[in-house]
Amino acid sequence: MGIAKSEIGENTDESREGNGRQRKKYDLEERTEHFSIRVRNFCLRLKRDAINIEYIRQLVRSAASVAGNYLEANENLGDGDLKYRIKVCRKESKESKLWLKHVLTYDSALLENERKDLIQEAFELEHIFGAILKKLVGKEELRKNSNT
């Protein structure tokens, strides 16, 4: 009982970026895993000092948690479990965004650009999970109303 692409508005293979270029749309499981790996690789390139080390630990954990919890959401034990996992995914996406804003890139243009891209991806994931959650809650309310 996983989440269909149509539930999250992913029924096409491509979407348009703001600049009109075509961009391949990934299925959400792939997308969250890709986000987690991109964050890990980004963190490997960051300077490890007294300030950054804790932010890096938190960032790697929260980004991996987005992917891990979405994987578990697709293997859920029922509607309550699915809703809980999606809430965790949304929360961890927000947290990843927070830690991405905190890590220091020390004026590296390359790292700063990657950080901005990752912040945008965390923002998008947060909103995708929010939309899924809203649909799940709406379905739950419909079921409750139809049973009364």
Locate the DSSP E strands across the chain: 14-16, 22-24
Q: Which domain holds residue 71?
A: 11-146
Q: Are the C-beta atoms of 94 and 62 separated by less than 8 Å?
A: no
pLDDT in tens, 64-73: 999 999 999 9
Please indicate, yes or no, if residue 135 is contained in any of the structural domains: yes
In a domain, 1, yes or no: no
Using one digit for the tens of pLDDT, what is the confidence trace for 40-95? 999 999 999 999 999 999 999 999 999 999 999 998 788 889 999 999 999 999 99
CATH classification of the domain holding 114: 1.20.1440.60
pTM: 0.80
Number of domains composing the chain:
1
Q: What share of the chain is helix, strand, coil (3-state, %, to 5)?
A: 70, 5, 25
